[in-house]
Chain A
Amino acid sequence: AQSVAQPEDQVNVAEGNPLTVKCTYSVSGNPYLFWYVQYPNRGLQFLLKYITGDNLVKGSYGFEAEFNKSQTSFHLKKPSALVSDSALYFCAVRVSNSGNTPLVFGKGTRLSVIA
């Protein structure tokens, strides 16, 4: 079975500092990995994905994530945090050759960027 762990419920960072939101996954096969962001009273917005190729993927709003197969991790990063980055972040996974299986999401990490 697929699963995603986001070990931190809350991450606090000062504006201008680098941020990291952690994600580890478990799948039986090669993963497709995704990060989404959710602002209050809104649906999830896609940030970036890893399908294949370069382990470092770049996405929207200056975010990037690094796929690490040996550590089964896909941490989200940004070099310089903005107050507007404060939101709920979700990591998700599905198996690449699984046909129709849906995304499996982590519980989410609340990011708070303090001015």
Chain B
Amino acid sequence: DTGVSQNPRHKITKRGQNVTFRCDPISEHNRLYWYRQTLGQGPEFLTYFQNEAQLEKSRLLSDRFSAERPKGSFSTLEIQRTEQGDSAMYLCAISTGPSYEQYFGPGTRLTVT
């Protein structure tokens, strides 16, 4: 148990629909990250929060993607008007500082048909 839960674990949606994923750290960690992992690749950074502030966003994060972390606890990642290219595993990770390891949740696997 890494102390991070993600819901749902699997999501199948039709192209054009909106989807929302949730990440719940069990304990308080000030840093929260979202990554995307496609088959045969390592995780790629999407966005990062320190407490409730979204401090960095990857160029991978198009205008259709939005993330929030109200109150600096759980976080949500929303994808609007999904495309088949959005099919991937979406991973949430937490850490307490730059020299500390990140702990990953089990991920949400998105399939866009």
Contacts and interface: CB of A to CB of B under 8 A. Distances in A.
The answer to whether A and B assemble together is yes
Interface of A: 4, 32, 34, 36, 41-46, 49, 51, 90, 92, 94, 96, 98-108
16 contacts: A43-B6, A43-B91, A44-B91, A44-B104, A45-B104, A46-B103, A90-B42, A90-B43, A96-B99, A100-B50, A100-B55, A102-B48, A102-B56, A103-B33, A106-B42, A107-B42
Contacts of A44: 43, 91, 93, 104
B85 to A, nearest CB: 18
A100 B78 CA distance: 22
Interface of B: 2, 4, 6, 33, 35, 40-45, 48, 50, 55-56, 91, 93, 98-99, 101-107
Given A102-B33, A104-B45, A108-B41, A42 B106 contact: yes
A43 B50 contact: no
Contacts of A105: 42-44
Nearest to A102: B45
A100 B99 contact: no
B20 to A, nearest CB: 19
Contact of A32 (B44, B45, B98): B98
Nearest to B2: A43
